[in-house]
Amino acid sequence: MLVPMKVPADAFPAGEERFRRLVEGAPDLIYTCDSTGQFTYVNPTAVRTMRYEEGELVGRHFLTLIRPDYRDHVGEAYARQLLERTPNTYLEFPAVTKTGVTIWVGQHVQLVCDGEKVVGVHAIARDITRQKKAEELLRDSEARYRSLIHGAAYGIYRTNEQGRIFEVNPALVAILGYDSADDLLAVGDMTLIYDDPAIRRRLIEQCLESGQVDGVEALWKRKDGTRLTVRLSVRTFRNEPDNATEFQVIAEDVSERQRLESQLREAQKIEAVGQLAGGIAHNFNNLLTAILGYTELLLARCPLTDVTRADLIEIQKAGERAAVLTEQLLAFSHKRVPMPEEIDLNCTVADLEHMLRRAIREDITLTCDLAPTPALIRIDASELEQIILNLVLNARDALPAGGHIRLEVAHAPTAQDISQTARGLPPGEYVRLRVIDDGAGIAPEVRPHLFEPFFTTKPVGKGTGLGLASVYGIVQHSKGFISVDSEVGQGSTFTLHFPALPRLHSRAATSAKPSPLPTADYATAQRTILLVEDEDSVRAVVSTMLQRQGYQVLEAATPQAAIDIFDARAQDIDLLLTDVIMPEMNGPALAQRFVGARPELQVLFMSGYTAQAFMRDGNNPKMRFLSKPFPPSVLVAAVREIFNQAA
């Protein structure tokens, strides 16, 4: 229990009992020390506050009650007061109670003198712990507020009704392109920042009426004069000193967001077109399967001397060209997974030349200079065609008044030919493709952005800004390099380098023409095939192809019809030949059901899309894929290979 110390008889002059009662009952800590700093008296409040027992404080040095890290500071202040004879000083410091609790004390110290000699001090102190905590919280709050304002990503400023700017944060300075806050404050009138001052006036009027305005977009001017779109939120408040109405404004720069939203809308349109193209290509592949199938069947029966044979061959060639077109549509719609293969760039350019001439205008001439020997590279064939077409169309657009486009294919050792911008490529043999035009050229400030997605210099609606970005991505994926040389008025040259393949072991030089339709081999043909295809024309031609080879074909136009047939004749069926995309159930799900019931069943998928888009179980040797359109010879060869491997 804490017991207040009794006041010594000589602590107060005789006859001043009322002052004794005042000191002992005071809520503040009152004490006296001698000139060395030792307590000579402490009142009951001091005893209670410091958690000491009676008699434990008198004779104790006051510095022992001060937190160690503050003792030197307080000791120096006390010594300085004695030395300088300062009558009264105020000091705040942390003290430690007997129980180890730290409290903050604010005290006034008055010197006690005997003539010219300082004999001690009187002190009145108060526990200011709550006050210090409140001050600390306030400082933290102010620091957080300043940090929030100064670190905010949005621009924040304070202004009055007339437009005078009082305070700005760093984000606003950056948004408006000024060098510093002082530079922006020097503008003086925020109205000058608005492209249309009337918008600011309407904002202020609405805010005065309702107290706040949110989400209003306005056009501002940066320091360099360029425009930006901002979304503004405005609040009114009263400035306490003069009770004036002021406005706090938060400004978000939405220029980039608007640009990205526009790009997103463009990308969504392109995605929609891509989905449409993919659907068209899938359906068209079904038609081409029937066209090419029946054409090859007719050619197989048509004598070499028949006059109609040449017409059938032309139909076949047209169908094959259409198949290439559908493959490009599938690539555009992302329904096709890139499949790199060995390709002779000479052959690709030569095959595309006729189509490219139709793609450019009559006032533009096209020249193709090919390498003297095969220019072999590894790349997806459709993507290579996409590269060439995009670059030629880009060159065409650079020739509004006509001109000349030249394609050059050549071999290029890195040490001799690669430009300075491509020095990072590993040494070795490369195949070089150049697309050269004699158009207006490309401005220096535009060239660094040519391959950026959605960047275009064409008018709105005339270009997506994805052509050259797609070219860049394909070239990079193929471990190649693309560079641009251009001067205004001197035309442009796009140079592409691809790693060259050895010329002796490439399959690219071999003929890709389908082999003649094989004759029936009854040693392997006495098999039963369940054909599932919802397209009548495709089902009919495929069934005819297989029956002419001696296979027994069970036809199903729907997955349910196939299930009914399988349930009735499961043990007779050797091969499931099924389309991938069908109503009710897709091909992989149907195959999984049948193989689960009969594990030895062989499966061959066929689709106008690619295998990678649907076949997840690519390691299952019993499940293979055939891409539409296919000629009868390819189908028969695939089926025969399956049965030979299963034998």
Residue 526 lies in a domain: yes
Residue 604 lies in a domain: yes
Same domain, 60 and 189: no
Report the pLDDT value the prediction gives residue 398, as an integer from 0 to 100.
86
CB 238 within 8 A of CB 214: no
* pLDDT tens readout for residues 399-433: 988 999 999 999 987 644 555 445 556 778 899 99
DSSP secondary structure string, 64-114? GGB-HHHHHHHHHHHHHHHHHT-SEEEEEEEEE-TTS-EEEEEEEEEEEEE
Report the pLDDT value the prediction gives residue 531, as an integer from 0 to 100.
95
Report the pLDDT value the prediction gives residue 38, as an integer from 0 to 100.
92
Same domain, 195 and 107: no
Backbone angles phi, psi at 576, to 5 degrees: -100, 115
Q: Residue 583 belongs to what domain range?
A: 522-646
Report the pLDDT value the prediction gives residue 325, as an integer from 0 to 100.
64
How does strand 602-607 pair with strand 244-253? unpaired
Report the pLDDT value the prediction gives residue 278, as an integer from 0 to 100.
63
- CA-based torsion, 213, 214, 216, 217: positive or negative: positive
Same domain, 394 and 432: yes
The torsion region of residue 215 among left (phi > 0), alpha (psi -120 to 50) and beta comes to: left
pLDDT below 50 — which residues of the chain? 1-7, 415-416, 420-421, 460-464, 505-515, 520, 522-524, 612-613, 615-619
- Amino acid letter at 105? V
Q: Find the CATH number of the domain harbouring 403.
A: 3.30.565.10
CA 214 from centroid of its chain's CA atoms: 29
Residues paired with residue 73 on neighbouring β-strands, in sequence order: none
The residue written with tokens 């720069």 in the block is: 253
Residue at which a domain ends, from 224, 253, 282: 253
Same domain, 372 and 454: yes
Same domain, 392 and 490: yes
Q: Find the CATH number of the domain harbouring 160.
A: 3.30.450.20
Q: What is the C-alpha to C-alpha distance for residues 126 and 107, in angstroms, rounded to an integer?
A: 6
Tokens of 523: 């040693």
Beta-carbon contacts of 335 under 8 Å, excluding residues fewer than 6 positions away, are 278, 281, 282, 609, 610, 613
DSSP count for the chain of H helices, then E strands: 18, 22
Same domain, 481 and 350: yes
Residue at which a domain ends, from 204, 221, 253: 253
Same domain, 440 and 585: no
Same domain, 584 and 631: yes
From 63, 65, 95, select the one nearest 77 (Cα to Cα). Answer: 63
From 163, 162, 167, select the one nearest 185 (Cα to Cα). Answer: 167
Residue 92 lies in a domain: yes
DSSP secondary structure string, 159-206? EETT-BEEEE-HHHHHHHT-SSHHHHHTT-BGGGGBSSHHHHHHHHHH
Same domain, 162 and 106: no
Q: Find the CATH number of the domain harbouring 614.
A: 3.40.50.2300
Residue 334 lies in a domain: no
Report the pLDDT value the prediction gives residue 283, as an integer from 0 to 100.
75
Domain tally for the chain? 4
Same domain, 359 and 483: yes
Residue at which a domain ends, from 459, 479, 509: 509
Beta-carbon contacts of 606 under 8 Å, excluding residues fewer than 6 positions away, are 533, 542, 577, 578, 579, 580, 625, 626, 627, 628, 630
Tokens of 245: 């109405």
From 630, 541, 534, select the one nearest 590 (Cα to Cα). Answer: 534
Residue 272 lies in a domain: no
Report the pLDDT value the prediction gives residue 461, as an integer from 0 to 100.
44
Same domain, 549 and 581: yes
Backbone angles phi, psi at 156, to 5 degrees: -135, 135
What torsion do the CA atoms of 454, 455, 456, 460 make, to the nearest 10 degrees? 50
- CA-based torsion, 29, 32, 35, 36: positive or negative: negative
Same domain, 169 and 200: yes
Residue 583 lies in a domain: yes
Residue 293 lies in a domain: no
Residue 207 lies in a domain: yes
CB 517 within 8 A of CB 639: no
Q: What is the C-alpha to C-alpha distance for residues 465 and 263, in angstroms, rounded to an integer?
A: 9
CB 396 within 8 A of CB 359: yes
